[in-house]
Amino acid sequence: MSAYDVIVIGSGPGGYVCAIRCAQLGLKTACVEGRETLGGTCLNIGCIPSKALLHATHMLHEAEHNFAAMGLKGKSPSVDWQQMQAYKTDVIGQNTKGIEFLFKKNKIDWIKGWASIPEAGKVKVGDEVHEAKNIVIATGSEVAPLKGVEVDEKTVVSSEGALSLNKVPKTMTVIGAGVIGLEMGSVYRRLGAEVTVIEYLDVITPGMDGEVQKSFKRLLEKQGLQFVMGAAVQGVDTAKGKATTRYKLNKDGSEHTLDSDIVLLATGRKPFTDGLGLDALGVKMSPRGQIETDAHWATSVKGIHAIGDAIKGPMLAHKAEDEGMAVAEVLAGKAGHVNYGVIPGVIYTHPEVASVGMTEEQLKEAGTPYKAGKFSFMGNGRAKANFAADGFVKILAHKETDRILGAHIIGPMAGDLIHEICVAMEFGAAAQDLALTCHAHPTYSEAVREAALACGDGPIHS
Ligand code: NAI
């Protein structure tokens, strides 16, 4: 038995970041991970491998659609799926080994195995019980089941199986037009699959700014993705390695079927807390299966904290990371803090979609007086040169004070551009502050400045 100041359970972005910060702050720290490699869902079967496939297939798209126009002639590259998979596996390895290196550097013990908590202050892994003054649960999330749909990771896959299909399917049905469905749907569309997305609501990416939703759907349709909107999936039947998806249209209750080689279930995730023994401990849970925490990420049981996908809030790696750093500070006697009002969300399709803060719909509902400054990438020289002029930047600012309340970008590098606005919001900036900041020319960032100018006297290039 060994004694620690902190044992973190789970080594995803929430857990490993928490462990590193704990160690940096002088706490004797261990992290329990049952997977063969560190990094959790994000590094092993989520964010990182999907970005490798998105990057590779975007390059293919560029070669097929834009190279000739730039004078780069010759045969388009053909797809070697096994090599693309090997590239993806290499990227995963580089990242997971990186975390292992950081653990060693920070003298964090990796306890290999699956943890349970027999009582506060104790973590059991295999036959060993380890003592810890504090326990942080960072066990993440898993695919939420959908009635009538059985995931076998071969014909009916979750995001995990979708990253490692045996071959590129001819046809693919995606259930759910959320982040996973659209990112993975884009990958296979670019590889030549016929992709149909079935979505329960009448809009894609629920919760996102309405104007972005519309523009995003139009651009995805232009790329060849097909949508069946307002349709509830009733079930999927498989036979001889093919799938038939049954769905009902909400508007008239009519029943339909769709055949495909592969079905991707992407209708959401749920907290993963199985096997921890939280029931017996009396840890308070929400009706949605999330661990309930207070403002300092403490659960209802003293000495046990929880962060990331296992608690409330958006299921995003960077939200978990921020909570991981903050709870480490709390455990070290400092003031940990997360500003939940400024957490960006990014969809890594092409073009990318990024947002932070309030949407126009939320501002209207709250009755907040606001103004919207919008600028199209059509007016951005760099975007035009790079065949990336689809999309826009929209900044929402308070009508009277000009304080930035939210921003929504669809366009090139949106996921990077959004951070300028995040920083501005952290500093309580006005749109005018961005508008008066010199932006290098020619950059995509100029579109952010122009949107800020559009909140005032108007943009220059439109
Ligand atoms: P999601 O919550 O983003 O989207 C699920 C979609 O499925 C919704 O549009 C919903 O209306 C629809 N749906 C639900 N039931 C349905 C039914 N029976 N028939 C048809 N449609 C139905 O969930 P998703 O895409 O699975 O992602 C899970 C989590 O992972 C999310 O919280 C997401 O934020 C996170 N994630 C984030 C990424 C990023 O930040 N780039 C990448 C991948 C995942």
**Measured in angstroms, how far is the CA atom of residue 150 from the centroid of ligand 1?**
17
Task: Check pocket membership of 99 for ligand 1, CB cut-off 6 A.
Answer: no
HEC secondary structure over 285-350: ECCCCCECCCCCCECCCCCEEECHHHCCCCCCHHHHHHHHHHHHHHHCCCCCCCCHHHCCEEECCC
Give the tens place of pLDDT for each residue, 348-374.
999 999 999 999 999 999 999 999 999
- Are 356 and 386 within 8 A, CB to CB? no
Q: How high is the pLDDT of residue 75? A: 87
**Measured in angstroms, how far is the CA atom of residue 94 from the centroid of ligand 1?**
28
| pTM across the whole model | 0.97
**Measured in angstroms, how far is the CA atom of residue 250 from the centroid of ligand 1?**
19
Domains of the chain: 3-143+270-338 (3.50.50.60), 156-267 (3.50.50.60), 344-454 (3.30.390.30)
Report the residue among 180, 201, 270, 409 best suited for mutation to probe ligand 1: largest number of ligand atoms under 8 A from its CB: 180
Q: Ligand 1 atom closest to Cα of 46?
A: 43
Give the tens place of pLDDT for each residue, 345-355.
999 999 999 99
Report the residue among 179, 208, 213, 352 best suited for mutation to probe ligand 1: largest number of ligand atoms under 8 A from its CB: 179
Residue 2: pLDDT band with limits 50, 70, 90: low
Active site residue 256: no
Residue 1: pLDDT band with limits 50, 70, 90: low
CA–CA dist 90, 52 (Å, integer): 10
Task: Check pocket membership of 168 for ligand 1, CB cut-off 6 A.
Answer: no
Section 402-407 average pLDDT = 98
Q: Ligand 1 atom closest to Cα of 204?
A: 9
Task: Check pocket membership of 179 for ligand 1, CB cut-off 6 A.
Answer: yes
Residue 85 makes CB contacts below 8 A (sequence gap 6+) with 164
For residue 439 the two structure tokens come to 């932006």
Among 247, 264, 201, 192, smallest CA distance to 223 is for 192
Section 101-129 average pLDDT = 98
- Given a cut of 80, whether residue 49 has pLDDT beyond it is yes
Q: Ligand 1 atom closest to Cα of 180?
A: 25
Residue 63 makes CB contacts below 8 A (sequence gap 6+) with 76, 77
CA–CA dist 344, 396 (Å, integer): 15
* Nearest protein CA to atom 12 of ligand 1, as residue: 176
Task: Check pocket membership of 271 for ligand 1, CB cut-off 6 A.
Answer: no
* Nearest protein CA to atom 5 of ligand 1, as residue: 267
* Nearest protein CA to atom 34 of ligand 1, as residue: 315
Q: How high is the pLDDT of residue 459? A: 96
Section 425-438 average pLDDT = 98
Task: Check pocket membership of 40 for ligand 1, CB cut-off 6 A.
Answer: no
* Nearest protein CA to atom 27 of ligand 1, as residue: 268
Q: How high is the pLDDT of residue 335? A: 95
Q: C-alpha distances in angstroms, 382 versus 60, 71, 122, 446?
A: 21, 18, 56, 9
Q: How high is the pLDDT of residue 289? A: 96
**To the nearest whole number, what is the mean pLDDT of the chain?**
97
Q: What one-letter code names the amino acid at 299?
A: T
